[in-house]
Each structure stands twice: as structure tokens, then as C-alpha cells.
Amino acid sequence: MSTTATLPLADRTQSLVGSVIDSSTSLLAAQKHDIVRFAMGSPAAEAIPTEALAEVAGSALGVDRADSFDYASTEGDMGLRTALVEALEGTSDATALERVTITSGGMQGLDLACKLFVDPGDLVSVESPTYTNGSATALSYQAELLEVPVDAEGMVVDALVEGAERAGRKPTAIYTVPTFQNPSGSSLSLPRREQLLEVARQWGAVVIDDDPYGLLRFAGQDVPSLHELAAGDPLVSSVRTFSKIIAPGLRVGWIDCDPSLQQLLINAKQAMDTCTNLPAQRLVEGFLRGGHLTEHLVASRSAYRERKEAMHDALTEHFGDIARWTDPEGGLFVWVTFEPAVDTEALFEVALAEGVAYIPGNAFSPSRRFPDALRLCYASTPPARIHEGVARLRAAVDRLG
Ligand code: PMP
């Protein structure tokens, strides 16, 4: 018998499902052989703006800056909050100071949103496939999940309505990754965004608008964010992060929601981590004030366009006969579906031995609806290595037989 079986664990531990995505970081760190890493959704080492960050660190975290190592205000350091509001001016995420609370990454924004809105047994709708950590967060508050299919135009809102009818109750929260979705890469079209907001208003359901990739468009036409379309409707809380637009290790993000919610966010955050890491907030503030974000986004978009094209070319060359894949206009991910079916969980070990890593499709569905799909992150790998990785993946599929 394991020790935990004898301990008086809380019931909620049964709903703590973890994340296959996050666990892949330690799994891959333990490997000694060369692996092309399409697993984690992180920018490449060479895409981290280290020069600008080092320059900013010199003044924000220098020898005379003991103040940068103190506790910060729970709602976020005022310097970062004001720099952020200025940096977002003119974007689809434009906002006001009183709406912004700084979080420890996007994950804490999701946790706070669920803490405020999800009671045990509540129905929460998630996309299918969805970002595992988002559905896991709702589960950690003991939600019941309604999985809603995604197509090339994002979440199928009609299916959300039908799913609620079948369930005989309305979701209290609708969780969506509307732009360059993780994992499918697809984006909610404008009509669907409007329809989603209408449905949420009819139901009085909150929308958790998790959009870390919206600023990483490299093709197609801009679509307004749910935040912009909602125009201050308190039902919509927008979770954002610097992880994909500066660096994930900073662990700095923000939640943009109705000002009436801020005190509750503060109360909840004070019971979690008091404040977001101040040195990291000061780094981000300096990065924004130095005007580096605009420049960095231009470079990131162009690198990701090139990498997505390399991924598509390599998939066409090696998988044209046995798979189809999505065509994202931004973000980091391509979603591949095998036809005829390939068991992508069984494939994982073989692929790892061949020297390539990805995330199996079932990791993105609480009811494991995608056994024959997988997610590839093209953003972390230069084009030539992308070709190598996809060739290794094909060798693994052939070996699996
Ligand atoms: N939401 C989505 C859709 C994501 O893809 C991620 C990161 N993979 C997050 C939230 C979490 O962001 P962070 O790393 O800043 O916690």
C-alpha cells in the first residue's frame, strides 16, 4: 500500500490530474540523447531577448536596487501595471489600470478565475481539444467538464449549446483559448466570438478568455479579442501572460477583469503567494518601458512564420500519405491527425528513442478523445532541425508499424 493511501487526503486530491505537458519538461531533461523538442510550448533559446533583458537588469536589479527585492503590492507593482497599460494601448487588449492585476504567469490567472467562479460540481465548458492545464485547473476546483468540439473556426458554439441541452444545465463558466488555440492552432472566427458572448450573456455564464498568443499573428487578418468585443462586460475575465511574448521562466502575467473583482483577486492571491516575484516584474517593466516589446514581437512573428512553413513543408514531405494537419495563422502549434489511425501514446516511447518529442493528443482531452492526434510546437526549433525532427517522427511511425 502506498503511504498516501493511509493519509487523510482531501477529496479534492482526486481531482488533481496534473499536466502531461508540464511533466514533459522533467522527462526530457532526464534524457541523455539528442532530441528534437516539439513538446513544450516555449520560445527557442535564441528567441529569448536576452540582450534587452540583461540591459534592463543592469538598472532594474542593480546593486543600488534593494527596493526591487522587497515584497510587492498584491495587485502588482504600480510601475509594471502602468507600463503594461501604456504598452497595450492601440492593441485589441487595450485596458485601464483599475482592470489589471499582475499574476504569477497565465496559470495563476486561470487558477484565480476558477477560484472566484467555480464551485464543486459546477459545469465548466472546455474546448475539445483544450489546453490541459486549463481543464486541470477547473477540475482542481472540482468542476464537471463539458467538452465542446473545435473546428477550423475555433470552438463550435452551436455544439456548446447542444451540449448544455444534453447535460440539462448551463455551464457556470466557459473556458476558451480563442486565438491560435493551444493545441489546435485554430482561431475563433468573429461571428463565433460574437455568438459565444451572446450565449454567455443569455446564460449569465462567465467567459474565461485565455489568450496568450493573440499578439503572435504572422498571417491572415486581425480578429478583435474577446476582451475588446466584450467592451467591459463583467462576465468576461481575460487571462494573459508574458510567457509567450517575452519568456516563460519570468512567470509574469496579468488578469484583466471588471474592477469590482479586484479585491477578491487580491484576497485570493494573498492566500497563494502574497505577490508576484518583484525582480521579474521590474524586468518586464524595464523591457516594456525600453520599447523592446514591439521590436521583439516583429522578430518573433517572422521567426514563427518561417518555422511554421518549415513544419508544413516537412509534414507534407514525410506525412502527406498518412496524416492531415492544421494551418495556424499565428502562435506556436500545429495539430496533426493520423489517417489511418496511429496510437500516438504508444508512438511516444518509440519517437523518444528515435530522438523526437511531442505531446500525444489524448493529453488535451479529459475524456481522451484524440488517441490518433498529436501536438507539435514549431516555435522552439530552427527550420533545419524541424525537418530532422519530422523525419525522425516518420521513422518512429514506420517502426511502430
Ligand atoms: N494558457 C494557455 C493557452 C497556454 O498555452 C499557456 C502556456 N502554455 C498558459 C495559459 C500558461 O501560461 P504561463 O506559462 O504564463 O503560466
Asked if residue 394 belongs to a domain, the reply is yes
Phi, psi torsion values for 277, nearest 5 degrees: -35, 115
Asked if residue 60 belongs to a domain, the reply is no
Asked if residue 25 belongs to a domain, the reply is yes
By DSSP bridging, strand 154-155 and strand 236-241 are unpaired
CA-nearest residue, atom 9 of ligand 1: 106
**CATH label of the domain that carries residue 308:** 3.90.1150.10
Domain count, the chain: 2
> Cα of 12 to ligand 1 centre, how many Å?
23
- Mark which of 252, 271, 292 sits at the end of a domain: 292
Name the residue among 331, 340, 320 with its Cα closest to residue 377: 331
For residues 19 and 151, which has the higher predicted lDDT (pLDDT)? 151
Residues 181, 85 share a domain? yes
Check pLDDT > 60 for residue 348.
yes
Q: Is 41 close to ligand 1, i.e. is its CB under 6 Å away?
A: yes
> pLDDT above 70 covers what percent of the chain?
100
Alpha-carbon span 213 to 331, nearest angstrom: 5
Asked if residue 61 belongs to a domain, the reply is no
Residues 190, 266 share a domain? yes
Alpha-carbon span 287 to 67, nearest angstrom: 18
Residues 364, 240 share a domain? no
Check pLDDT > 90 for residue 21.
no
Residues 43, 184 share a domain? no
Q: How confident is the model at residue 1 (pLDDT cuts 50, 70, 90)?
A: low
**For 134-165, how does the pLDDT look when each residue is reduced to its tens digit (9 = 90+)?**
999 999 999 999 999 999 999 999 999 999 99
Pick the atom of ligand 1 nearest to 211's CA: 3
- Average pLDDT estimate for 205-225: 97
Cell numbers representing residue 228 in the block: 475588446
**For 77-123, how does the pLDDT look when each residue is reduced to its tens digit (9 = 90+)?**
999 999 999 999 999 999 999 999 999 999 999 999 999 999 999 99
Residues 231, 206 share a domain? yes
pTM: 0.96
Per-chain mean pLDDT for the chain: 96
Residues 95, 125 share a domain? yes
Check pLDDT > 80 for residue 230.
yes
Check pLDDT > 90 for residue 260.
yes
Produce one character per residue of 106-138: b if its CB has 16 or more CB atoms within 10 Å, e if not: bbbbbbbbbbbbbeeebbbbbbbbbbbbbbbbb
State the pLDDT at residue 198: 98
State the pLDDT at residue 28: 85
Check pLDDT > 80 for residue 3.
no
Contacts of 137 (CB under 8 A, 6+ apart): 107, 110, 111, 114
Residues 174, 105 share a domain? yes
Check pLDDT > 70 for residue 372.
yes
- Mark which of 252, 270, 292 sits at the end of a domain: 292
State the pLDDT at residue 25: 82
Residues 215, 169 share a domain? yes
State the pLDDT at residue 53: 97
- Average pLDDT estimate for 267-281: 98
Q: Is 212 close to ligand 1, i.e. is its CB under 6 Å away?
A: yes
Alpha-carbon span 69 to 369, nearest angstrom: 46
State the pLDDT at residue 51: 96
Pick the atom of ligand 1 nearest to 181's CA: 3
Q: Is 241 close to ligand 1, i.e. is its CB under 6 Å away?
A: yes
Check pLDDT > 60 for residue 315.
yes
Of 210, 225, 239, the one to substitute when testing ligand 1's pocket (max ligand atoms within 8 A of C-beta) is: 210
Pick the atom of ligand 1 nearest to 41's CA: 8
Residues 388, 324 share a domain? yes
Q: Is 106 close to ligand 1, i.e. is its CB under 6 Å away?
A: yes
Residues 157, 267 share a domain? yes
> Cα of 132 to ligand 1 centre, how many Å?
10
State the pLDDT at residue 29: 84
Give CA separation, 54 vs 59, 83, 92, 286, 372, in Å.
9, 19, 29, 10, 43
- Starting at the earlier edge strand, list the strands of the sheet with 323-325: 323-325, 333-338, 373-377, 359-360
Asked if residue 8 belongs to a domain, the reply is no
State the pLDDT at residue 43: 87
Lowest mean per-residue pLDDT among 7-16, 216-225, 278-287: 7-16
State the pLDDT at residue 244: 96
Asked if residue 54 belongs to a domain, the reply is no
- Average pLDDT estimate for 222-245: 98
**CATH label of the domain that carries residue 278:** 3.40.640.10
Q: Is 182 close to ligand 1, i.e. is its CB under 6 Å away?
A: yes
> Cα of 2 to ligand 1 centre, how many Å?
33
CA-nearest residue, atom 8 of ligand 1: 41
Asked if residue 142 belongs to a domain, the reply is yes
State the pLDDT at residue 294: 94
Residues 233, 116 share a domain? yes
> Cα of 3 to ligand 1 centre, how many Å?
33
Asked if residue 198 belongs to a domain, the reply is yes
| Residue 228 domain boundaries | 67-292
- Mark which of 263, 292, 321 sits at the end of a domain: 292
Residues 94, 26 share a domain? no
> Cα of 107 to ligand 1 centre, how many Å?
6
CA-nearest residue, atom 12 of ligand 1: 106
